[in-house]
Chains A and B, each alone.
Chain A
Amino acid sequence: MRSLRLPAVLTAVVLVATACTGESGAGGSGGYPRNETLYTTGTAWGPPTNWNPIMEGNYAVGTVGLVYEPLFLFDPEENDYTPWLAESDEWPDENTHVITLREGIEWTDGEPLVAEDVVTTLELGHFDIHYSNIWDFVESAEATGEREVTVTFSEPRPQEWMNWVANRAIVPEHLWADKDQAQVNDDPNADPVGTGPYVYENHADDRMVWRRNDDWWGTEALGLEMSATYIVDIVNASNEVTMNMLGNHEVDMSNNFLPGIDQVIERDETITSYYEEPPYMRSANTAWLIPNHEHEALGDPEFRRALAHAIDIDQIISGPYTNLVEAADPTGLLQPWDDYIDHELVAEEGFSYDADEAVRILEDAGYVDEDGDGYVETPDGEPLSLELAVPSGWTDWMEAANIIAGNAEEVGIDVTPAFPEQDLLIENFRRAEFDLMINNDRGLSNTPWTYYDFIFQLPIRDEQITANYARYENEEAWELTERLAATPTDDIEGAAEITSQIQEIFLADLPVIPLWYNGLWSQSSNRVWTNWPSEDPDTPDSYATMWNNLYQLGAIYTLAEIEPVE
């Protein structure tokens, strides 16, 4: 049996190797110490390739938030703006906003943060980048002092403006002023120079490693000290791989939707989420059923109302989601925006699951099954069959689409689920080549304006890139939305009056149908790090997530509040 000697040797090598590696996984020399390292996953869908904060949606996890920081954060609980790089701000009149920067903030290359940096960042918007549209209403931005920026508006839109202020990362003037269009859009910015609490350490195709910036201004100014020396963000793998890693405590925080995680949370004391019981997770955005209004039946408000009544949302929530999400309010607004919801109106005009009602609405509007095939036809007698598209591979949504199709069938509407590749779907819906789809492109922000902008934005273009995929045309609703944009951010009552009018139109017409609140998926292991945000009053309330744009909503605090386990 000479031939079997080789495998025997090989097995021995492997066993020795595993023994040396041991439980910790770090082979001694050169590894990041486990108790100083935070392992996260759930945000990155591909290898980190650039650290350019302007390349929204492309940059490595943490580029904005950990390295580049915004002027203000927004606190959704308090509905208030927290000065971050800014020290204070002032509105001398409705067309002028003066922002004063903190003293003593330095870029990681040693240069101080100055007003010119903010001006440069704004002026990058003259290139074709994702925030170019602020120049529709910003007239000028000037450095009126070393640390004072004055922005004047051609048209006051404080809600929209503050959305920029509380989201967009400031870049250093001394490195970015000379860049041209191609560099701004393409430059991987491999050596990011920011102001934030972490700096680039390393990366590979399956991970992004950040190291703590011990000179971070926030330690002194805000009394915040980042807990982990290293943050290793792992590129998303399959659900089952992530589940294995979490179970083995190889990751500390997972921001993935993991089916059945409720069972794990119940079973394993060391794995926790925000709530101890259903829905376990907080809400991050609303999943909408978006009909194409260019379609004859879907353009009919009565038909949409019937469809809204036909969907048994509880079946989706208890089925694929195992109660990890909550049903959406009929207005679709997230819980932190409760002040903007006209509850009386909702009680009167809102919809809920009622198949009989759906059938009644269909009949009244002339949608009946004349040819006896089990499905209704249009009032003109044309057969009606719809396709409901969700991106291929989004298992929870695919399952939800199956359920909705089944629900629709029960009231006689013929809906077939379809699972195109995500990119193909995006391509198609932009050009109005779809019947029905599920979408959650907009999430929690500083103002419900972002939602109404998403639903009502006019004019309709050949391609709808970021908003109004349904192609709903309602001048009145859009005018109200623009008025909402122009409402001062502290005038919640004034804003609520406008949103109430908007909701009247929304509930009557149902241009899009709110389904459920997608969760802010976050499950944490308490084996190495603890004090994760939860509903327990002794723990922090910030968001525990690495998702882009949530640092600006306070997720950054979580990184300072977690504590190493002794």
Chain B
Amino acid sequence: MWRYIGRKLGIYGITFVVAVTINWMIPRFMPGDPVRSMLSRASVSDPEALERMTAYYNEVFGLDTPLHQQYFAFWAGLFRGDLGVSVWLYPEPVVDIILRHVPFTLGLLLPAIILSWIIGNRLGAFAARSKVLDNTVLPIGYILTATPYMWLALLLAWALGVVGGFFPTAGGYSFALTPSWTWGFFTNLVSHWFLPFLSMFVVALGGWAIGMRNMIIYELEADYSNYLQALGAPRRLIRRYAFRNAMLPQITGLAVQLGTIIAGALLTEVVFNYPGLGTLILNSLNNNDFFLLQGIFLFVVVGVLIANFIIDIVYVLVDPRTRVRMTGGAS
């Protein structure tokens, strides 16, 4: 088991190095000069002044040293928790900006992922091999999982926000409030959170329900189920075994799906102008703020790695067979 986890950690380590390297390359090898684009916004008319400022910012961003030196300096900075300074929100440090947005994204992602997974699996299990449910859950599930995140989000915002007026359609909390530990602020936060959460939850729900339904059917048709049935075991017992076995692929499925769900969160945040990392990534992109973009990218990768690791551990805990199949982490 320890070897299994060690192996996983090794892969995550390599992934992290790859991600950091890609990350470092973004501002340096992409077209467009970050410093120049920043100066274009501060309308400096004197060309000499412009030159001096360019040199100044190149120094601030460390763009004037040889490439390999920049690369190591980048790693060194990383371990100090220093991801540089944002160009768009100059002179704020990238880390501060990201930390401000992370809670919103997590607050959206975690409940959406966990609740949709639990409820989706239950629904799928109910639906499997039950004619009526199967014929309703299945098509609805497929339609939901095939819906583009942003389209559903826009429809929900329109129906429940604008026409219905039940929920606010934009922002993280009311423009009339300042964050505080009060009930009023909390309820406001929740009301702004609900629609983005709902649209992510609904799309993800369909996927899990279908996945579970299919798994259960496979399990129910597996040899051990037939054998149990032949032995006259009660149907409930067989289903319970099937459910437990079907859980395992669903847990690995969660790891595989993380990327898609994060993509969905990005799009959903954009639709609702929700102040999380998704909106931030789009803003940094539109403003050529490579440093911020790098930072977000890194945060997302680290987040995904941590989530993967947690899922691995859960998997090991749930499935004692992993202990035996020590090297089977990849299938």
Contact = CB atoms under 8 A, between A and B. Distances in A.
Q: Do the two shown chains form a genuine complex with each other?
A: yes
B259 to A, nearest CB: 25
A423 interface: yes
Interface string A204-221: 111100000000000000
B84 interface: no
A250 B171 CA distance: 12
B175 A465 contact: no
Nearest to B52: A128
B56 to A, nearest CB: 8
Interface in B147-178: 154, 157, 161-162, 165-172, 174-178
Given A27-B184, A130-B43, A427-B37, A186 B177 contact: no
B162 A49 contact: no
Contacts of B317: none
Given A132-B46, A427-B32, A465-B43, A20 B187 contact: yes
Interface size class of B (residues with CB under 8 A): 35 or more
A128 B191 contact: no
Interface in B44-98: 44-50, 52-53, 56, 88-92
A3 B122 contact: yes
Q: Which of B31, B122, B169, B273 has the most CB of A within 10 A?
A: B273
Nearest to B39: A465
B283 interface: yes
A566 B270 CA distance: 37
B90 A18 contact: no
Contacts of A26: 174, 176-177, 184, 188
A447 B184 CA distance: 51
Interface in B244-302: 270, 272-273, 275, 283, 286-288
B304 interface: no
B42 interface: yes
B190 interface: yes
B240 interface: no
Interface string A109-146: 00000000000000000001110110000000000000
A60 to B, nearest CB: 12
B243 to A, nearest CB: 12
Contacts, number: 182
B190 A248 contact: no
A32 B288 CA distance: 35
A399 B300 CA distance: 35
Given A30-B180, A130-B42, A427-B36, A232 B47 contact: no
A424 interface: yes
Interface in A173-194: 182, 185-186, 188
A478 to B, nearest CB: 16
Given A247-B162, A393-B286, A421-B32, A206 B174 contact: no
Given A26-B177, A28-B184, A465-B47, A248 B100 contact: no
Nearest to A33: B176
A92 interface: no
Interface in A26-46: 26-32, 34, 37, 39, 46
A167 to B, nearest CB: 13
A10 B191 CA distance: 12
A393 B270 CA distance: 15
B175 A25 contact: yes
Contact of A132 (B49, B174, B194): B49
Contacts of B131: none
Given A14-B190, A58-B41, A465-B45, A248 B162 contact: yes
Given A46-B287, A248-B162, A427-B36, A185 B53 contact: yes
A206 B167 CA distance: 19
Q: Which of A24, A27, A185, A206 has the most CB of B within 10 A?
A: A27
B182 interface: yes
A21 B193 CA distance: 13
A27 B185 contact: yes
Contacts of B174: 21, 25-27, 31
Contact of A16 (B50, B92, B179, B187): B187
B119 interface: yes
Contacts of A186: 90-91
A427 B33 contact: yes
Contacts of B53: 128, 185
Nearest to A201: B178
Contacts of B146: none
Contacts of B154: 240
A320 interface: no
A73 to B, nearest CB: 22
A18 to B, nearest CB: 5
A17 B190 contact: yes
B254 to A, nearest CB: 17
B115 interface: yes
Given A20-B184, A27-B185, A465-B45, A421 B286 contact: yes
A16 B15 CA distance: 44
Given A16-B187, A17-B194, A206-B273, 10 more contacts: A17-B188, A20-B187, A23-B165, A26-B184, A129-B49, A204-B178, A244-B157, A421-B286, A424-B32, A430-B40
10 contacts: A17-B186, A20-B183, A21-B187, A24-B176, A31-B184, A49-B89, A205-B100, A234-B175, A237-B273, A461-B47
Interface of A: 3-4, 6-7, 10, 13-14, 16-18, 20-21, 23-32, 34, 37, 39, 46-47, 49, 55-58, 128-130, 132-133, 182, 185-186, 188, 202, 204-207, 232, 234, 237-238, 240-241, 244-245, 247-248, 250, 393, 421, 423-424, 426-427, 430, 461-463, 465-466
List of 5 A-B pairs having minimum Cβ-Cβ separation, nearest first: A27-B184, A128-B49, A423-B37, A17-B187, A26-B176
